[in-house]
Structure 1
């Protein structure tokens, strides 16, 4: 019997070896796996400015380089490979694509549907990692870890941070607002509850559970979220409706001294307006893991502000995320091969 031909295209985070191990554990030895590893994150992924044009986004590599590898493949498991309409045409035997991320933005879904190729993904794959990171970023700002570190790194002992008018707050005295209440937002709430803070959420698609009500989680409209939050944490996807949702006008309506945490996407925020609010002192601080342009330009003023915690889009990165995502894809592949309903099919 001919073995199932599988292409495993990994990168430096979810490697092809991780994919291959997960696939063989899930479906056994009756497969032939060819592998390749792309250069992300050592080389940043493309948004809309790469070799695939505007057809897909957030991908690594050139689709032309993958044509030979996929010519005989029946299954593709990948994280960031650029799956364009042209590449699909060069893969006539392909019938299943597993994308080990929350949204298959690197796959031309219209072309996949037209060719009757089944696609699955892993929604919420990094919810725990991002939630932990978010709480850490909140604490770094409200407990003055960020500004204290910035001072010491320049040889300045910030003993003044013990002054009443400059020291930090405890979360039990603060209101934390979450914009977006899906997998990540819900996990953030679970981690925040023991701190005793007031928690607000804004998400037109979310419905609070009985447990949310017991825990005191409040659902509000966005203007109330903006006005009442001491800490505003973003967990929304980028859509035409959410692009620029934290606008200059809304930043101006945030509490004086409030902190903005963005571990979602840079496109949600008017970045120049945010920078101005941080410089003026209207906002007390920010924690940014994502930016309008990644990586940010060296002359970006945000990189030089002492009240900003900056990280290079790593909130969703953990070893467990990599193995979990590959395992979920492999398990859905096993279901597909058995003719069973997939856990995470993409429409």
Structure 2
């Protein structure tokens, strides 16, 4: 199979028929073998019924329905597991991503030029104050921290080689950091393509201001996990040693001062409490490092989500 098109969705019943027809037309025009994999992330409207109806008319359409809303990362993670295409292309279900971008996104992966290609919505139709300005700031920080030169990390329109989607796990709200996750997994050929951004035709956006706060917290998390998930003692042990040595040296100075001057009141000095605190912090960081090492070496498996139904998938 050439292409798996992965589409996570939440309450998008109005846009699904038009989107499915558009994708099928692009695939037919380019003679691609394909599947369209819709992931219903706990919709409360008729989205799943629409997916089943679409499947009746096009067997290339498949679906996964979550029992409740788990989030976009969970939807992508399950779809990546189920996908069968050599190239996996993700897009949003709200028709703001154009399926006409699929052939070029496929080519950029299929010819071996890239492992992952991220879309860049250079010209946007979103509200400037609530989306564009915060998004630019968010992307600038992510670009600085990750050292990946992309303009739009959160663009839903991306293409991946099969090796990438089968090698990574997307959890929490890490979908916006898939390029970072791929980089930490060893995939260095990450590219970018300017893509069309269309005005929303149906429904309303599902994201609010909290995504930017959560985004920066997730960035800190993914940066730490990427560097230290397999060697947590390198982080906790280093800082544990630093704090312990500060406390130890300070304690020695206090003890020597007491020996030299018997009237020197150690417990009346703020330095005494600083030394005690840093010693305790140092020991705690060492313990955290040891526990993290045990957990990292004994943990296995991947996240599981309760799927209520599947369509066209074994």
TM-score of the aligned structures, taking structure 1 as reference length: 0.22
What TM-score do you get using the length of structure 2 for normalisation? 0.24
Instruction: Please state which structure has a larger fraction of its residues in helix.
Output: 2
